[in-house]
Amino acid sequence: MNALDLNPKTQTVAAAAIKPGHIVMESHDHPAQVTRVAYPMTGRISIFARFLWQASNEPEWKLGTFGARDGIEKAVR
């Protein structure tokens, strides 16, 4: 198993910039890969993810619902 980087370098980006496949920080030491981004009629953005250590067949979970300009910590290279 490859070692996971649990503390990647991050940058705060607007929630509207988040796409499936991006790595975001759910909390300290908890990077998660975005699996789905939904735009319900509420005008807010729902982001779904899996922790990096979860198997692809495990269920995704809702990271949260955000305004388009809300800041989210996204991993950068």
pLDDT at 5: 79
Stronger pLDDT, 44 or 2, i.e. the higher one: 44
14-75 is classed in which CATH architecture? Roll (2.30)
pLDDT at 1: 46
pLDDT in tens, 10-67: 999 999 999 999 999 998 889 999 999 999 888 899 999 999 999 989 999 999 999 9
Question: In sequence order, what are the beta bridge partners of 71?
Answer: 14
- Determine contact, residues 49/60, Cβ cutoff 8 Å: yes
Whole-angstrom distance, CA of residue 25 vs CA of residue 32: 6
Q: CA dist 69 to 14, 15, 29, 45, 65, Å?
A: 5, 6, 24, 10, 12
Name the residue ranges covered by the structural domains of the chain. 14-75
